[in-house]
Amino acid sequence: MNKRALGDRGNSLVFTLLAALFSSCLLLLFFSESFLDSFALFFINPLTNRYYLGNMIAFMVPLIVAGLGISFAFESHNFNLGGEGQIYAGSFAAVLAALALEEKPVLMIWIVSFAAAAAAGGLIGALSGILKRRLAVDELISSFLVSSIVVLLVDFCITGPFQDPSSNFQATKAIPPAATLPKLLPPSSLSTGIFAALLVSFIGKFILARTRFGFELRLCGANKDFARYAGIDEGLYALVPMLLSGALHGLAGALMVFGSYGRMLRGFSSGVGWSAIAVALIARNNPIALLPAAAFYAYLDAGSKSVMMGAGVSPEMVGIIQAVIFLFITATRLSFFRLPGSSLRSALQDRAADRRKP
């Protein structure tokens, strides 16, 4: 991609962010009791308050990992709408593994629990890939429906046979205290899981940009017919990216439980699976760009909670502010759905143009 295109894209993003933030300020001006107090709580408090800052960074962890899962699916022109169920299944499997290995060394608990989380999420994601490959079932629909079923089943388990009888919450028993990830900024929920998220992000970038698998995955997303003529099994790239996407969602759920909650609570994910889609769209499926995209989304979430608690702004108004901001941002990304794998396509077109030059 040439420098001019990159500059235009960067200018477009900056303009979009400014327009979105300006619209948010207008909403706070008209619908909050004190604009200055609400503005400070929404935009400044998350960066200056130790508790909100720590929780903001902690919320980035599942957004980065699950956002990478969405990126793998989108780059191969698959659509994973089952993130919520995959997060649920992964975290539930991780908790059961940790409880079963309660007396074992911490390192063993971590390895087995996170592997179980990835396996559970991956199996659910792979189911949609198998249905698409074998029966031509649209993965967008199947992933959403399977996810809905999984969430209900796990909720039944949490409030039924696996509920902690000694707790008043709808939750499982707590995992061994030693197995929880070390905290970095108490009393917030920030843990060493942020380092795991960063590592996963860099590994994802390497796979997509530097491996044959990543190239073939992006090529299938850019042009399935060309990939087929090149001898690539396009059916395989309907299955494997969905499996990887589900595995990463399951891992994101496990990091949330082991880093923040110490047990699985009913409804703990709070729409992280859907938020990851917005983060991946903002990042244009670039694993490294997921970091600032997740930071921006987490910043808005922290600001929303701050202004609700400190200025009495209604949750509905906060939801409208968030929706306006992401409407502006995602509007500049809609070309992704018309030109899947656009980054790869642009690179191939630029290379062909260079070769035609005298």
Beta partners for residue 171, in sequence order = 265
pLDDT at 327 over 90: no
Measured distance CA(242)–CA(85) in Å, rounded: 13
pLDDT at res. 106: 94
Number of domains in the chain: 1
231 vs 357, higher pLDDT: 231
Measured distance CA(169)–CA(223) in Å, rounded: 50
* Domain hosting residue 8, numbered range: 3-356
Q: How confident is the model at residue 103 (pLDDT cuts 50, 70, 90)?
A: confident
Measured distance CA(103)–CA(118) in Å, rounded: 22
Helix (H) or strand (E) holding 67: helix 50-75
Q: Which of 269, 253, 305 is nearest to 118 (CA)?
A: 253
Cα dihedral value 11, 16, 22, 23, nearest 10? 160
Structural contact between residues 75 and 280, judged by C-beta atoms closer than 8 angstroms = no
Measured distance CA(86)–CA(252) in Å, rounded: 9
pLDDT at res. 343: 46
pLDDT at res. 168: 82
Percent of the chain predicted with pLDDT > 90: 49
Give the domain CATH number at 228.
1.10.3470
Give the pLDDT confidence of 248-275 residue by residue, as tens digits. 999 999 999 999 999 999 988 878 998 8
Compute φ and ψ for 177, nearest 5 degrees: -55, -35
Helix (H, G, I), strand (E, B) or coil at 313: coil
Percent of the chain predicted with pLDDT > 70: 86
Helix (H, G, I), strand (E, B) or coil at 87: helix
pLDDT at 339 over 50: no
Measured distance CA(221)–CA(226) in Å, rounded: 10
Looking at every residue in the chain, the average pLDDT score rounds to 84
Beta partners for residue 265, in sequence order = 171
Highest mean pLDDT among 38-42, 51-55, 252-256, 269-273: 252-256
Extract the tokens encoding 184. 């970095």
Q: How confident is the model at residue 330 (pLDDT cuts 50, 70, 90)?
A: low
Q: How confident is the model at residue 12 (pLDDT cuts 50, 70, 90)?
A: low
Taking each helix axis from N to C end, the angle separating 236-256 and 50-75, rounded to the nearest 10 degrees, works out to: 170
pLDDT at 58 over 80: yes
Beta partners for residue 191, in sequence order = 183
Q: Which of 26-30, 219-223, 317-321, 341-345 has the lowest mean pLDDT?
A: 341-345
pLDDT at 92 over 90: yes
292 vs 311, higher pLDDT: 292
Helix (H, G, I), strand (E, B) or coil at 169: coil
Q: Which of 43-57, 170-184, 208-222, 338-352 has the lowest mean pLDDT?
A: 338-352
Length of the chain: 358
pLDDT at 7 over 60: no
